[in-house]
Amino acid sequence: MTSTASAVSACVFAHRAIWFRLLPMRATCRVRSRSTATARAGHVRGRASYRLQPGDHVVEFVPVGTDKGRAVRRMMQYLPFRGRLPVFLGDDLTDEFGFDAANSQHGWSVLVGEREPSAAVFALPDIRSVHAWLRENAY
């Protein structure tokens, strides 16, 4: 575990309002409120190689210079994605970069749930609708 992930873990164990998930290249903390996340995130704020990416009910600790939009654009450069349209679904403020990237490449951006404003062109009300949409459209 990296020193940043260790710092986040220590913060999480000290505060019961935070749920921690370590993912490749980022750590995510689910919180009960954004103010709780911002207050608790100070423990890792001093790490120069990471930044805080606030969301609706999450603060992601991501490497500087990265976001979901950059990830989509990079993925689309590689086979088997090259020459295809990106489809990006998301339910959080942190997904807006991904929506922008999909839109800029004439792909599909789909907001799951409700939030305004959003760069997503399409919306589905809930995860059950996402599953139905995927069954109808995946081939």
pLDDT digits (tens, 9 = 90+) for 29-70: 555 555 555 555 555 555 668 788 888 877 787 888 889 999
pLDDT in the model for residue 54: 85
CA dihedral 51, 32, 22, 66 (to 10 degrees): -30
* 122 strand-pairing partners: 110
Q: What is the mean pLDDT of residues 81-97?
A: 95
Fold adopted by 3-63 = Gyrase A; domain 2 (3.30.1360)
CB environment 37-66: b (16+ within 10 A), e (fewer)? beebbeebeebeebbbbebebbbbbbeeeb
- Tell me: the pLDDT tens digits for 128-137? 999 999 999 8
Our separate counts of H helices and E strands in the chain read 5, 7
Amino acid making up residue 87: V
Q: What is the band of 74 on the pLDDT scale with cuts at 50, 70, 90?
A: very high
Domain boundaries, the chain: 3-63, 68-137
pTM (two decimals): 0.70
HSE, side-chain direction, 13 A CA sphere, residue 101 = 22
